[in-house]
Amino acid sequence: MASLSLSLNKNPNPPVTGLFPKQDNLNRLATKTSAISLNKPFSSKKLENEKTTIMFTRSSVSSTTSTHDYRKSDAVLSHDHPHPHHHNHHHVDEATLLLQNEEDERPLREIWREIQGSNDWEGLVDPLNSCLRREIIRYGEFAQACYDSFDFDPNSKYCGTCKYPGAHFFEKLEMADRGYKISRYLYATSNINLPNFFQRSKMSSVWSQHANWMGYVAVSTDEDEIRRLGRRDIVIAWRGTVTYLEWICDLKDILRSADFGPDPTVKIESGFYDLYTKKERGCKYCSFSAREQVLAEIKRLLDYYEGEEISITVTGHSLGSALAILSAYDMAEVGLNVVASGKKVPITVYSFAGPRVGNLKFKGRCDELGIKVLRVVNVHDVVPTVPGIIANEKRQFQKYIEETMSFPWSYAHVGVELRLDQSHSPFLKPTKDPGCAHNLEVHLHLVDGYHGKGKRFCLETKRDIALVNKNCDLLRSEYGVPSQWRQDENKGMVRNTDGRWVLPERPRLEGHPPDMAEHLEKVLMIKRNSNSNGGVHGTSSPGLEAS
């Protein structure tokens, strides 16, 4: 995998249709979760002691709007103002009230630990800290990159893999200025019981019969970015699904022991476990499990940058969020983030629209290990309400039910929740489409405009609202943005030397790097040392072998 194992020099140059699920299945699922209020908006209480500025704007949102330059003054519609398309023809031609949260002027390098959750984001979520907002969006865009680069087309022989080679990944996605480089791609076997999650090619000759591309590991390499961050950052981004939601109907609510640590009562959902730990020895992309791939790569990077200030940030959307939390727990449980000096490298998860992953004991163990999880959810999205409809963290007697009754379907969310509501954005139209409520770009749009409970929706960054319709249809029609607009030019077809339009060949996909077994053996050594010190019982670990 030489093409992906990029040279990570210490001082490198800067790197440069939707088919939604069967409605009846999701309607039944939504009915089962009716006990959770998904439609109750935040109160619009009169704001006191807030800095306000009167901004004058001429027809900033009109029925003929075609520009996508939506600055703060253009986004001052609040939840309690009439929307521009209402039949009373109320327009926003008058002065409008712009609520401005006080900007956090402190440089990120001075407060990065706080922003990464060292104090569980106390005082940063409500009202939403401006620095934290930018970081949530930045890591959300790392997760979105998994969708924008994934080949969903069943007519392509590359269906199920990444469209771009690692050396050009961020460049192709217009993210070359982020200061990160890909260090390796992650794969998982598709031969597990999540049939509506994996993408397969209809062609007989394909890149792999058994694997799907699941995301990537990247590391900050640009010196200016490292100074801005205050540390070298390792990012793990996991892919979810943008085209189907039916995989949530395939969750069997079956909990099983995680087997990564000493306590067998720490349990996770079996489908997530299989996705993370299973392998196909005959497939060069899945001869190592997704778990082995990520642990070995993180160990390699921590050894390479030994002595530096480092953070590990894991991000994912939808099912990718479940993998993000699971892999963060795994790294901490194995002790991978404890470096030679004995210092702990902080592990933070930015989760978007994620389901519950494990039981109450799993949540408790994540808290004990110091894993920091910030969960961004849309109250209209059904995915964060599953599994665990009967017994979950919202139920008063969950601990009693789980421990005393040994109830096998008890689930609990991990971490701090940032709860958003799409009905508060004046840019979005009313819809009951579950895919729109679950869409990652919609979540990032809501983060951009959210200031706190009861506060007005106001876009804080220059993030284009057209991105909302990249993979869905949720923007109001007056903005003139087509739905589902993102695709490769000519759907990837190019004209060859004979004048025929063809799908071009892609560079040969590499399997695992030759030194992977070596770094995996180091992970096993950490585990064995922990065993000998009484930290972890047992001698084997699922999906973790050096051979």
Q: Which residues participate in catalysis according to the annotation? A: 318, 381, 438
* Whether residue 387 has a cis bond before it, omega within 30° of 0: yes
Residue 444, C-beta contacts closer than 8 angstroms, at least 6 positions apart: 136, 137, 140, 141, 144, 463, 467
Contact 197, 247 (CB under 8 A): yes
End-to-end CA distance of the chain: 17
- Cα–Cα distance, 360 to 267 (Å, whole number): 8
Element (H, E) at 520: helix 516-532
**Tokens encoding 211:** 């694997």
Dihedral (C-alpha) 188, 189, 194, 197: value to the nearest 10 degrees?
60
What is the DSSP code string of 417-460? EEEE-GGG-TTBPP---HHHHH-HHHHHHHHHH--STTPPP---
List, in sequence order, every residue forming a beta bridge with 217; answer none if it has no partner. 184, 236
| Length of the chain counted residue by residue | 547
Task: Describe the crossing of helices 270-277 and 290-304 by its angle, rounded to 10 degrees.
Answer: 60
Beta-strand runs (E) in 259-361: 267-269, 310-317, 347-352
| Nearest alpha-carbon partner for 479 in 84, 77, 93, 96 | 84
- Cα–Cα distance, 392 to 54 (Å, whole number): 45
- 3-state per-residue secondary structure call for 145-186: HHHHCECCCCCCCCCCCECCCHHHHHHHCCCHHHCEEEEEEE
Residue 344, C-beta contacts closer than 8 angstroms, at least 6 positions apart: 337, 338, 370
- Cα–Cα distance, 245 to 318 (Å, whole number): 9
**Tokens encoding 308:** 């530096």
SS3 state at 229: helix
Q: What is the largest CA-CA distance in the chain?
A: 74
Contact 145, 185 (CB under 8 A): no
